[in-house]
Amino acid sequence: MTQVLLNILSNAEHACVGAHGRGHISISVQETGGSTRINISDDGPGISAENLGKVFDPFFTTKEAGCGTGLGLSVSYGIIAQLGGSLWAESDGVSGSTFQIEVPPSDSGAAGRPDEPAISPLRLLVVDDEPDLRNIIVRLLERRNHKVDVAGDGDEAWDRLQDQSYDCIMLDLRMAGTGGQELFQRLNAADPVMAGKIIFLTGDMANSSTRSFLDPLANLVLQKPISIGDLEQATAVVTGNGQK
């Protein structure tokens, strides 16, 4: 929770100072329906309607280059999700923003939220050489009680696949060492069914070689920055799990 609050407060301070050279941030806490809600409001420039739905997506940022990674709010979202709570933003795009955190009592955090659809636990593998993004994806998937293994490159993933079968593999295309394309080709030759369960992650769709590799394939592709909703939907489509 300390990390979540620091991330939100840091963003609020940056927005206020950037807009006015100063600003006001208010924090309130209340109990509601057995849960704790924390509201953090600032009088910065607000968040546009276009960006409001993106602020929790990994690597999304409106800051200048070198002033932020775009991971702080994604990390915060993952932490609150792991606690069984909710984190959302509200803004009119003009007169400031409010971030609201709602968490259940600590002894019920692992139970999940009552309005979420029942989803059977899956065994998943996340392959990405960026630890921050990998950890965010793992937190979001574990929120749904999935069992998640990780690998930092294609060779590590290949070793895991020798001992374990997975319901779905989330595979970054470009990685240091053995990349996603090479791993896919190796796996497709050995086990085409498992290769068909791969969801590719990439921020390189503008590259002609990336498109020429992906276009003939039936596998789903998620473009970075990855949408939280798209991540869950893609997993459900590949596994046929929890979606109508």
DSSP string, 158-209: HHHHHH---SEEEEESS-SSS-HHHHHHHHHHH-HHHHTTEEEEES-TTSHH
Q: Is the pLDDT of residue 137 over 80?
A: yes
Residues 105 and 168 in one domain: no
Q: In the chain, count H helices and then E strands.
A: 9, 9
Same domain (yes/no): 8, 57: yes
SS3 75: helix
Q: What phi-psi label fits residue 66: left (phi over 0), alpha (psi between -120 and 50 degrees) or beta?
A: left
| Encoded tokens for 182 | 């090479």
Contact 97, 12 (CB under 8 A): yes
Do 132 and 95 lie in one domain? The reply is no
User: What is the count of structural domains for the chain?
Assistant: 2
**Does 129 share its domain with 219?**
yes
Q: Which of 82, 111, 140 is the last residue of a domain?
A: 111
Write out pLDDT tens, residues 27-74.
999 998 889 999 999 999 999 888 888 888 766 665 554 344 456 788
The model's pLDDT over 144-200, given as tens digits with 9 standing for 90+, comes to: 789 999 999 999 999 999 999 999 999 999 998 899 999 999 999 999 999 999 999
Beta strands (DSSP E) in 18-108 are 25-32, 35-42, 86-91, 97-103
The residues that bridge with 99 in the sheet, in sequence order, are: 40, 89
Instruction: Assign residue 204 the CATH number of its domain.
Output: 3.40.50.2300
Say what the pTM is: 0.58
Domain that holds residue 208: 123-239
Alpha-carbon gap, residue 137 to 212, rounded angstroms: 26
Which of 61, 219, 74 is CA-nearest to residue 140? 74
Q: Report how far residue 80's alpha carbon sits from residue 143's, in angstroms, rounded to the nearest whole number.
A: 9
> Is 101 part of any domain?
yes
What digits encode the pLDDT tens for the residues 76-125?
A: 888 888 788 999 999 998 889 999 999 988 654 444 444 445 557 899 99
134 plus 76 within the same structural domain: no
Task: Indicate whether 65 and 150 sit together in one domain.
Answer: no
Q: Which residues contact 177 (CB under 8 A, 6 or more apart)?
A: 129, 153, 154, 155
The gap from C-alpha 81 to its chain's centroid, in whole angstroms, comes to: 10
> Looking at the structure, do residues 38 and 17 belong to the same domain, yes or no?
yes
